[in-house]
Amino acid sequence: MYRFPASLIRTIRPTARRTFVATSRISQSYSSQEESILTAALPHVHQHGWTEQALAQGVLTSKLPPSYIGLIEDKKSELIHFFMKNSNKQLEYILQQTDIEGENMTHSQVIEVAMRKRLEMNVPYIKSQRWAEGMALGAMPLNACHTANHLEQLMMIIENAMMRCNNNGVQASPLGILERGALGAVYIATELHLLSDNSTNQQDTWNFLHQRVEQLEQAATGNLSVSSLVPNSDTLVAGAAVASSLGGAVLSLVAPAAGAGIQSITSSVMPAVMNMMQPPSVDSTVGTKAQDYDFSDLPPFESDIAPKKSKSKPDASPQP
């Protein structure tokens, strides 16, 4: 497993995975009708964009009554979040079916294969020039937190696959924060490259990805500065909309149709993204952040937190 030199970073490893609240789109489960509509709507994105019109076509394709479009509560952004969640789910299944142990795949190979498989899912929407719209939606203030969660889920999927590698019989341990952030930086840089790639079968992008993974391996062995892989603030602001495909912060440059200025977008996206991309300044433990708890599982509170004071009865004794 990749390990950066101890002199560069104090690695922090939580004792348990973060549990997302049930209201998050990450953990949201769809009814069969909702999933049918959203799945059927995706092919119509190429013509109608990530819009209610695409959802309406999904209802018709599913042979459901038109009124069923009301099942989709957030008609402006649910489709893009469904695509990101579903793409992560597909990637997880692909990696589970891959014989990582039998093929003696290295960590570098797992990273490269996983990221390429995931990015290839975006290619049809890039070709139809609809991906910029999706990135815009993902980077909007109300969606930025969910988008950052999608990115974190993607990094966890890749990490789980890396832990299956045959590491000379040594038990692999989870990635640290900076190590996971470096993986996210490679993914972000590669997706930015893919947005403007006109080469045959996106070969320039896959060559770019291979080079970045090689740099990641060099950083793990101490032959390259980790800071060269983690994007600085200028890079993140310059590329704000990559967050929608799960990771960055650069939107107005590639999606002016977002209808929001770069300042308003980055002020919402940057805190959520940088929470994962930067190591904390102090030690943290599980249970110190609100995100570590599922508030939906809490029991109902008693209506009376403290005993009520009994009202004193008026003195009925006659006045002298």
Picking from 75, 100, 119, the residue at the C-terminal end of a domain is 75
Q: Which of 21-30, 81-90, 137-146, 306-315 has the lowest mean pLDDT?
A: 21-30
pLDDT, average across residues 116-131: 95
Residue whose C-alpha is closest to residue 177's, from 281, 95, 289: 281
Q: 241 with 195, same domain?
A: yes
CA gap 101, 37 in Å, rounded:
38
Number of folded domains that form the chain: 2
Is the pLDDT at 39 greater than 60? The verdict is: yes
Q: 169 with 157, same domain?
A: yes
Q: 148 with 271, same domain?
A: yes
Is residue 311 one of the residues assigned to a domain?
no
Q: 156 with 268, same domain?
A: yes
Q: 98 with 217, same domain?
A: yes
Is residue 66 one of the residues assigned to a domain?
yes
Q: At what angle do helices 32-41 and 78-97 cross, to 10 degrees?
A: 90
Give tens-digit pLDDT for 189-244.
Answer: 898 898 889 999 999 999 999 999 998 888 776 655 444 554 444 344 333 334 33
The top-scoring range by mean pLDDT among 27-41, 121-135, 181-195, 247-261 is 121-135
Which amino acid is present at 251? L
Q: 182 with 234, same domain?
A: yes
Give tens-digit pLDDT for 87-101.
Answer: 999 999 999 999 998
Is residue 297 one of the residues assigned to a domain?
no
Q: 71 with 83, same domain?
A: no
Residue whose C-alpha is closest to residue 110's, from 14, 227, 258, 2: 2
CA gap 243, 271 in Å, rounded:
12
What domain range includes position 137? 79-280
Q: 274 with 163, same domain?
A: yes
Q: 99 with 220, same domain?
A: yes
Q: 36 with 173, same domain?
A: no
Q: 134 with 250, same domain?
A: yes
pLDDT-based confidence at 129, cuts 50/70/90?
very high
CA gap 58, 54 in Å, rounded:
6
97: Cα within 13 Å, side-chain hemisphere: 6
Is residue 94 one of the residues assigned to a domain?
yes
Q: 49 with 166, same domain?
A: no
Is the pLDDT at 172 greater than 90? The verdict is: no
Is residue 298 one of the residues assigned to a domain?
no
Is the pLDDT at 280 greater than 80? The verdict is: no
Cβ proximity of 219 and 225 under 8 Å? yes
Is residue 53 one of the residues assigned to a domain?
yes
Question: Which residues contact residue 138 at a Cβ distance below 8 angstroms, ignoring those fewer than 6 apart?
Answer: 77, 80, 81, 84, 144, 147, 150, 241, 243, 244, 245
Is residue 141 one of the residues assigned to a domain?
yes
Is residue 65 one of the residues assigned to a domain?
yes
The alpha carbons of the chain give a radius of gyration, in whole angstroms, of 24
pLDDT at residue 80, rounded to an integer: 93
